[in-house]
Structure 1
Amino acid sequence: MSYGDPNNPYGAPQQPGYGAPQQPGQAPGYGYPQAPPVQQPYGAGYPAGPMQMPGNVSAARVMMWVIVGLQVLGAALFAISAATINAAKNDDSLRDNSAFQQIADYSTGKLWALVVFAVIWGVLAAVLATKFKSGGNGVRITLLVFGIITAVIALYPFTIAGIVHLVLAILIACFVGGSKGKAWFNRPRY
């Protein structure tokens, strides 16, 4: 005797021992339907941003702190030079020295302006270096612009002394502008 399709819910009931084995504690085909699947948390389906700062982005942050140190050193050297030249201009024994007169013709006002510029640039670098962990895409773009402008400034007025700034600025722009830098600064923050 055949009961037809064993998967037909309207067919004759299966006898124990025939057909698919029953799980203990389950009634076949009775009760409420299965609950829908639990919804995914917010942002599901999108790749999660990196949880730890990538190595090249961390290196860019260290390079920013190196630039801060170089800016402090440069500002101190410019300030000492301006003060020394200003004090030496009043010295009568150096008035006949032609080598000193070439240096003395250089305006101490320009040196003090370079001190102010170095301090401002160093403060900007320090602020940007502190924003690596919490900053978003705006900080990334600002870091890119900072790196490019630093590289240009290192090329023109400070060609020989600015070679370290040039290398650091190019590396910062490359590391922050790369795919890992983009992923880090665009990561979701909850």
Structure 2
Amino acid sequence: MSYGDPNNPYGPPPGQQPHNQGYGYPQQPQHPQQGYGYPSAPPVGPYHGAPAPTSMPGTVSTARVLLWVIVGLQLIGVALFAFSAASVEAAKDDATLRDEPAFQQLADYSSGMLWALTAFALAWGVFALVLAVKFGKGGNGLRITTLVFGIITAILGLYPFILVGLVHTVLAILIAVFVGNAAGSAWFNRPRY
């Protein structure tokens, strides 16, 4: 019975058998000892020993850029809704436009509804702006919030705002996919020192 290196301080004293290989115990195959001390530990990382990312992955950076694009589109939407609300308020008193069918469709929306849509578009743009700004230092809570933001934006792009919302839907789906993948998880779950 050999314990590898005869100078191993952790082996049994010379001339003695280990307690688990004596009488009544099955013989274990002996492997040469790799070295002294404890075996090396695997590297520490967020999942399966992978090292934590030190720079933002490409997909996460793309999701951040797409959030900035949504901010820009929201600002354009705010301007259009505000212009429509102001135009409807001013044109409701014009007698020549009362008989026009195209104006009547627009006048069906109350100016209060258009101002509410303006406020909602502004609030949604500010929400996207806050998410985009916090990507560099945000944790898993920001990741989950961005996923929820992407899903709700995709749904809102499909239902009430079908024509203008198609671009928002595509951008929101891409944001949710890029933030929800393994690289996004590694970025938002990285240790912060």
TM-score when normalising by structure 2? 0.75
Identity of aligned residues (%): 63
Aligned amino acid, residue 55 of structure 2: Q
Corresponding residue number in structure 2 for 1:17 = none
1:48/1:188 contact within 8 Å kept = no
Corresponding residue number in structure 2 for 1:139 = 142
Q: CA deviation at 1:45?
A: 3.4
Return 5+ residue gaps in structure 1 as ranges. Answer: 1-6, 9-35
Supply the distance in 2 between the matched residues of 1:126 and 1:180 (Cα, whole angstroms). 22
Corresponding residue number in structure 1 for 2:82 = 79
Corresponding residue number in structure 1 for 2:171 = 168
TM-score when normalising by structure 1? 0.76
1:70 paired with 2:73, answer yes
Q: CA deviation at 1:44?
A: 5.4
1:120 paired with 2:123, answer yes
CA displacement, residues 114-156 of structure 1 (integer Å, 9 cap, x when unaligned): 0000000000000000011000000000000000000000000
1:109 paired with 2:108, answer no
1:89/1:104 contact within 8 Å kept = yes
Corresponding residue number in structure 1 for 2:162 = 159
Supply the distance in 1 between the matched residues of 2:149 and 2:99 (Cα, whole angstroms). 44
**Residue in structure 1 matching 2:133, options 126, 130, 134:** 130
| CA RMSD in angstroms, aligned pairs only | 2.1
Supply the distance in 2 between the matched residues of 1:148 and 1:96 (Cα, whole angstroms). 42
Instruction: Give the number of the structure whose alpha-carbon radius of gyration is greater.
Output: 1
Q: CA deviation at 1:92?
A: 1.8
1:48/1:187 contact within 8 Å kept = no
Q: Which piece of structure 1 moves more, 100-109 or 124-133?
A: 100-109
How many residues of Structure 1 are paired with residues of Structure 2 in the alignment? 154
Aligned amino acid, residue 154 of structure 1: G
